[in-house]
Structure 1
Amino acid sequence: MVLAVVLAVTRVGGADEGVGEFDIPVVLPLTGAQVATLRGVAADLPEARGVIDEVAERAERLRGMAPTPLRVIHYEGLVHTDPRRVATCRSLSQMGDVAWLVRDWQLTGDERSAATLGRCVVAWSGAYVITGNDVNENKLYPLLVAYEALRPAFDDEDRAAVDRWVEELALTHLERAQGATRFSNRYVKRLRLLTVCARILDCDDWLDEVVASVERFVVHGLRPDGTSYDLEERDTLTYHCSALRPPLEIAMLLGEGADDLYAWTSPEGASIRKSVLYVLPYARGEKERREWRHSRVRLDHERAAAGLPGYQPGMLYDPRSSLEMFEQAAYFEPAFDAVVERLRGESAGVSWQTLMNRVVAQAREGN
């Protein structure tokens, strides 16, 4: 019998005090043309008012915050209640704040947000020692998005130092990706990091490698029936969706090649699109699924034994867990907008991701 651990939880700096977990809002690297499109769309789209106002309110509280850099991240492989992970999240949760400020800068160009982001980029890149851990370093993604946006404004010395750090990060994850034997959500997290690093340093060779690696993921990590390595290994749709989100974002960022990569089919018949469609009946409530009953991963069993409610064997899959994936997939197939509305429980308004979908699509059409 599993002894449930009941935790009193309070929010501190975006992290759960007592539980090593925090949220990072969606943040997407945008070109200069896409930023201009965003500012135009935001001004002319009444249904975006709610998400825009939230960005403004959050940014006002966060501008001027002091960086909280870490030299070492203790996160991957640790149960949420592990004291090392809890302590790490107190500092690492700043990545959520960075994401909000990136959104604000993309919307407004506010110099105070830019200055705060610049200090965070310099402090974190100067302190953190790269290890190649995909789970840990994926948390730094908002920092990389911020640097891509603001890199021209950095002075020569800081830009050179951060560029060296970005190059080391990219080469480390490129090497790990090329030597991969397991094509799970962790593999595509590496590719997501490599994508933004390639954009920062304008390295087309890395982007070519990303596209080839996404195709390897489809070949080895996805199945012709729409299932995946993650679904087999973890016995949960949560990780299945998590594995699809980085390649969906990567495909979206490719511009003209986006639709091709989304629909690209392996010789065996697997594709990103098929694996998205596999989730559709669960998202619509047409099917139910019991989660975590046959996970092969030790950490999943440790999380269940610790009483963490989201990891209990036999729990019903919550369709809302697929919301962010379907918001991304709606960029490629607007018919998914109906699924997104169902999952959100709303008939109006947009999320940041669906706003990004419009921005990227409009900027693409304008080219």
Structure 2
Amino acid sequence: MRKFVVTIALALSSFSSFSQLVSLNNDEIKKLKTQIKNDIETKKLYLGTEKSALNYLSGQPNPIDTIRTEGLLQGNPKKETTRLALADMNKMFALALQYRITGDQKYLNKCVEFLGAWAKINKPNGDPIDDTNLDKAIEAYDLIKKDIPAADKKQIELWLTETALAEINSKRMKTGRATAINNWNAHRLKEVGEIGYTLNNQDFIRWAIDNLKSHININLYPDGTSLDFKERDAMHYHIYDLEPLLKLCIMIDRANGPNFYTYESPKGSSIKKSVEWLIPYINGEKQHEEYVNTTVKFDRDRARNNEPGFAPGTMFKPSLALPVLRLSLYFDPAQNDLLKNVSGNSGNWQKVLDELKHKR
């Protein structure tokens, strides 16, 4: 694949738009405020996140220089250190959202403190399985970017730019490497795309869209299966591939771009077909034993490490598909009944936020 060459200065020069496509926009924030005021269930859910945001005001950021989750087993000290540090992601998002809901400057200041600490310390290494954990930080920045002081804004945008460029120019993108076409690439495209839309970087956006087309053609099959399912023999990885693709498709659609949910590749594959292929396994018509024929050593290592869900023969649990169902509702509201059946129609704050984007 052609190396993506762009200087940091050139990349930064395109960051001029304040439109929120990754997070909630102004109209959606207004709707959320009204819903909190008028809907009892939403109010209950909001009180929980309000309490958390208030507690985060007295906390301190815990950034790490390198995120390390990919390829590490549970119990690995590097993975545990990362797990503890990544608690900051949800804190940033909660603080940013609370600022947008209340307008209280103290939440903005604390969110900027967290984002700035990570921007100063964290160094991207071009590993999308590690970088995919930055979603909530990017969403937080997208929520508050128009109100951030110039010096903080520059530092945070430089960090995000470096993260996207590290992904685009990563050795893991080289032709012939599995990580250039499997679930790694799905997360890479999502990460570059959301940074592109957050920073209004048209080069990043074009790169994500161009490579999304080729990913759908190479990674997904006309029968609805995927390369990741074939290699891992696990719905877990089919879902892990689809979730970032759906997130990227939603961003593209919110920017009035093409509908990549229904887009069909030259060989006839599509994200829609790959979501629909899951449905019989979610509603119980079909069952699947996970990892029985996996070709990946790491899957067997996790099984030997007694990590839940990775033992060969473990039955697929429909609840694992909830992220895909929630995201696919944006394009296909008909999945709502199935989502209710699987989730038990239980209240969920993230579901409230997702549905605000669906109401178009």
Q: TM-score, normalised by structure 2?
A: 0.86
1:1-56 Cα offsets, whole Å, 9 max, x none, are xxxxxxxxxxxxxxxxxxxxxxxxxx952233332333234434444334323222
CA distance in 1, matches of 2:27, 2:251: 13
- The answer as to 2:40 corresponding to 1:43 is no
CA distance in 2, matches of 1:42, 1:175: 43
Give the Å deviation of 1:222: 0.4
Give the Å deviation of 1:317: 0.4
* Pairing of 1:5-154 with structure 2 (within 5 A): 29-154=23-148
Give the Å deviation of 1:72: 2.1
CA distance in 2, matches of 1:203, 1:178: 21
1:292-341 Cα offsets, whole Å, 9 max, x none, are 11112221111110111221010100110001110111111111111111
Match of 1:242 in 2: 240
Distance 1:311 1:201, change over 3 A: same
Match of 1:271 in 2: 270
Greater shift, 203-212 or 243-252, is seen at 203-212
CA distance in 2, matches of 1:293, 1:175: 35
Give unpaired runs (5+ residues) of structure 1.
Answer: 1-26
Match of 1:186 in 2: 184
Check conservation: 1:219, 1:270, Cα contact below 8 A: yes
Check conservation: 1:41, 1:359, Cα contact below 8 A: no
Distance 1:301 1:68, change over 3 A: same
Match of 1:197 in 2: 195
Match of 1:351 in 2: 348
Give unpaired runs (5+ residues) of structure 2.
Answer: 1-20
Amino acid at match of 1:238: H
CA distance in 2, matches of 1:312, 1:91: 28
Give the Å deviation of 1:257: 4.3
CA distance in 2, matches of 1:301, 1:110: 50
Check conservation: 2:249, 2:261, Cα contact below 8 A: yes
Distance 1:189 1:266, change over 3 A: same
Provide the secondary structure at the position in 2 that maps to 1:312.
coil
Provide the secondary structure at the position in 1 that maps to 2:259.
helix
Check conservation: 2:233, 2:292, Cα contact below 8 A: yes
Distance 1:195 1:32, change over 3 A: farther
Greater shift, 141-150 or 318-327, is seen at 141-150
CA distance in 2, matches of 1:209, 1:178: 13
CA distance in 2, matches of 1:168, 1:332: 32
CA distance in 1, matches of 2:120, 2:248: 27
Match of 2:214 in 1: 216
Check conservation: 1:185, 1:242, Cα contact below 8 A: yes
Check conservation: 1:289, 1:317, Cα contact below 8 A: yes
Distance 1:100 1:296, change over 3 A: farther
- The answer as to 2:298 corresponding to 1:304 is no
Distance 1:234 1:140, change over 3 A: same
CA distance in 2, matches of 1:286, 1:314: 18
CA RMSD in angstroms, aligned pairs only = 2.3
CA distance in 2, matches of 1:126, 1:183: 31
Distance 1:240 1:107, change over 3 A: farther
1:334-361 Cα offsets, whole Å, 9 max, x none, are 1111111111123xx6534432343224
1:104-163 Cα offsets, whole Å, 9 max, x none, are 344434433222211011001100112111111111221122122222332222222222
Q: TM-score, normalised by structure 1?
A: 0.84
CA distance in 2, matches of 1:361, 1:86: 35
2:156 to 151, 154, 162: 162
Amino acid at match of 2:356: V
Distance 1:259 1:166, change over 3 A: closer
Give the Å deviation of 1:279: 0.8
Distance 1:97 1:162, change over 3 A: closer
CA distance in 1, matches of 2:107, 2:271: 36
Check conservation: 2:197, 2:251, Cα contact below 8 A: no
Provide the secondary structure at the position in 2 that maps to 1:141.
helix
Provide the secondary structure at the position in 1 that maps to 2:70.
coil
Greater shift, 122-131 or 51-60, is seen at 51-60
Amino acid at match of 2:284: G
Match of 1:339 in 2: 338
Match of 1:328 in 2: 327
Distance 1:263 1:44, change over 3 A: farther
Amino acid at match of 1:40: T
Check conservation: 1:264, 1:271, Cα contact below 8 A: yes
Provide the secondary structure at the position in 1 that maps to 2:269.
coil
Q: Percent identity?
A: 24
1:50-96 Cα offsets, whole Å, 9 max, x none, are 43232223222222310001112232111011122112322223223
* Pairing of 1:285-300 with structure 2 (within 5 A): 285-300=284-299
Provide the secondary structure at the position in 1 that maps to 2:54.
helix
